[in-house]
Each structure stands twice: as structure tokens, then as C-alpha cells.
Amino acid sequence: MMNDLVRQLYGMRWEEALERVKERVRTEQEAAMLVGELTRDRGWRERVAAARIVTAYRLGALAPNLAATFHEAPEYYTCRAFTEMLRETLGPDAASLLEEMKNYCPNDDYGKNMVQLIDSALLQTLHDKR
């Protein structure tokens, strides 16, 4: 089930994936267990799937631990999923975690794209504060 769920979630548009999570993962307890397993795996697809599960079930308490894995393998799809997860589950409280993620982006064009993505999420969190 886990590999099939991961395969489905990382390849879908954000909103579609959130709907699929609700179809496939029946309870918040099951969602939390899956997020723990996926976070330990550390593959980018697994972390993207975990971010989508956290967001679908609004498991904001699990978001910081998942976001902390960004430094191990900063890459664009994970960055995009984590910024959405943090913004949607933590709102304005996501700002410090987003700033921390920026510190781990590579210092090249690829990293600059991630920084732009994070900066956009930061602007949205500031807007959400108002």
C-alpha cells in the first residue's frame, strides 16, 4: 500500500493529491503513522507524499519534523511541497521554518529557484497575518 500511495501522491496536482489522501487514508491516526514512516524513509517522493498527508489532515504538529529533513536533500519538488505544507498547516507561524529552509538551498541557479519559491511563500504568510 505504501509504495502505491507514494507513487500516486507525488505525481498529482496538489489539490488532487489532498483529495486522494482522504480517500486512501481513513483516519488521522493512520495518517500520522504514515507520515512517521515516510519521514524516516527520506526519499524525495516519500517526503512529498508525507507533506501532502500532513496538509490533507492538517497535522501541523508533524510539519516541523518533516520540514527539518529538507537540509538532508534540498530539491525543488520537496521544497514546493514543504512550502505549501507549512503555509497551509502553520500559516504565519511557518515563517521561521521557511527561513531556515532557505539556508539549505544550493548557491546556484537551481537553489535560487527554490529561494524564490520560499520567498513567495513567506510573502503569503505575511499577507495571511493581516
Burial of 130 (0-12, 13-18, 19+ CB in 10 A): exposed
Indicate the pLDDT class of residue 70, thresholds 50, 70 and 90. Answer: very high
Say what the pLDDT of residue 8 is.
Answer: 84
Q: What is the pLDDT of residue 118?
A: 97
Q: How many domains does the chain have?
A: 1
Q: What is the pTM of this model?
A: 0.91
Distance (Å) of CA 44 to CA 26, 50, 87, 100:
24, 10, 19, 18
Q: Which residue has the cell 498529482?
A: 12
pLDDT, mean over the chain: 91
CB 31 within 8 A of CB 63: no
If pLDDT is split at 50, 70 and 90, which confidence band does 130 have?
low
Range of the domain at 55: 2-129
pLDDT digits (tens, 9 = 90+) for 73-106: 899 999 999 999 999 999 888 999 999 999 999 9
